[in-house]
Amino acid sequence: MEFISTRGKDGPISFETALLNGLARDGGLYLPVSWPCFNLDEIRQMRDLSYSDLAGLIMSRFTDGEINQVEMTSLARQSYADFTHPDVAPLRPVAENIHILELFHGPTIAFKDYAMQFLSRVFDRALTRQNRTAVILGATSGDTGSAALEAFKGRDSVDVFILFPEGRVSPVQQKQMTSISAKGAHAVAVSGDFDDCQDMVKACFNDVAFRDEMKLSAVNSINWARLMPQIVYYFASALKVGAPEQTVAFCVPTGNFGNVFAGWVAAKMGLPVEKFIVASNRNDILTRFFVTGTMQRRSVDPSLSPSMDIQVSSNFERLLFELLDRDGVEVARLMKRFAKSGSFDVAENVLQAALSLFSGFCLDDDGTKVEIRSTYQQTGMVIDPHSAVGLAGARQARASGLVSRDTPIISLACAHPAKFPDAVQSSCGIYPELPEHLANLMQRDDVMLTAENDMEAVQALLRAERR
């Protein structure tokens, strides 16, 4: 298996090279040269596999010739050994033929743990093989940062710098990052919003001299290896509701489009999916695209679901590449236009191709509170604001007939409600407590760096603080 860039000028390269590069050297994102596919019999045979065995089977299809299924399964077992639920990604019924997929049973109680725990191990493997070190630079709207710092802390071969928007993550999310004091693990508060942090990361990678000097690598979902582990829980949850005989639908709360794109890959690999509902908060760039065919950036508006406070959905470039029949030149043109003007349009046939599988949904803060409260009153289940956006999207898709009544809808619950206790309490009157392993989190000491919203300032900080 080899990988190419969405902008057409980088690749084919190996999985290990794509892993360590993170962002393609032409500014694009890596994708496999072809999509591996399972037939229906192969998907049926997945039903009896453990979560780690399933992960080994699926992810090894993207590392053929480098990491075989046996080794991949071993990496998966190590990655999920400390998850607190035996199912790793448990599925719970919440309404008629609507299910919640709980993706918050990892160390930092957010879905990013599924990828980060794997990523830290596959990074270690690659760096050890090449006898080299790396500096990981990432941006976070809340959950990626804590998951990355937790997964990579204390590893001799890696320094990790995570940029987060100062004052725009929840107190729990910030504390999860700033309470990690291991050598080489750095939480960096940046004046600005998440899109500013993400732009800074991309700018540093596109500065080739700096990139090579620092041996930069990425753990944001711009790194293809971040998406691979996320494909697994789409298969795992669909199998539990009757796939492959039963077609399923997914509602995915998202800002950066990485999580839902992993679902699209699962469908590309043979999983029968009727629809993906792309659920956004008031920062509704994706919803607007699926209505108009125009991707138009606006200012970020802080909300109760800060991990989705994004107006530049980086991973959409991967879907765009597929919708445009893998025309890297055209993708590069549109991305250049977007960077310059904050907007681009696609042709009507391209929009219709997207709408054959995707639909947009958005929910404001008042609606989010209503969903948290009604879900608690009806089921006793306490959900966080991001999960509420997704669940509201699932209910709306069912009520409107967008998804047929016989099709199970799986709504992704991407964070534990204790990450956003104030929003939850104001909505339903319940103050969600942190799990036992994080019970004293808010009393832990802080270690934090700060940087201006300026690339030169960030580069100077990395030079000064790396080991």
**What interhelical angle do 285-292 and 348-355 show, nearest 10?**
120
**Structure confidence by residue, pLDDT tens digits, 213-267:** 999 999 888 999 999 999 999 999 999 999 999 999 999 999 899 999 999 999 9
CB environment 361-378: b (16+ within 10 A), e (fewer): bbbebebbbebbbbbbee
In tens, the pLDDT along 163-222 reads 999 999 999 999 999 999 898 999 999 999 999 999 999 999 999 999 999 999 998 889
Residue 143 has pLDDT above 90, yes or no: no
Is 336 considered catalytic here?
no
pLDDT band, very low/low/confident/very high, at 155 (cuts 50, 70, 90): confident
Rg of the chain on CA atoms, in Å:
20
What is the pTM for the complete model shown? 0.95
Query: Quick one: pLDDT at residue 426?
Result: 97
* Single-letter amino acid, residue 126: A
Give CA–CA dist 423/155, Å, rounded.
35
Assign 349 to helix, strand or coil: helix
Bridge-based pairing state of the strands 216-217 and 134-139? parallel
The pLDDT mean for the chain works out to 96
pLDDT tens track for 413-443: 999 999 999 999 999 999 999 999 999 999 9
- The one-letter amino acid code at 416 reads H
pLDDT of residue 154: 87
The one catalytic residue in 112, 175, 240, 369 is: 112
pLDDT (0 to 100) of residue 181: 87
Query: Side chain identity at 455, as an amino acid letter?
Result: M
Structural domains of the chain ordered from first start: 88-107+224-428 (3.40.50.1100)
Q: What is the DSSP letter of 401?
A: T
Report which of 232, 279, 230 is spatially closest to residue 255, judged by C-alpha positions.
Answer: 279
- What is residue 467's predicted lDDT score, i.e. its pLDDT? 87
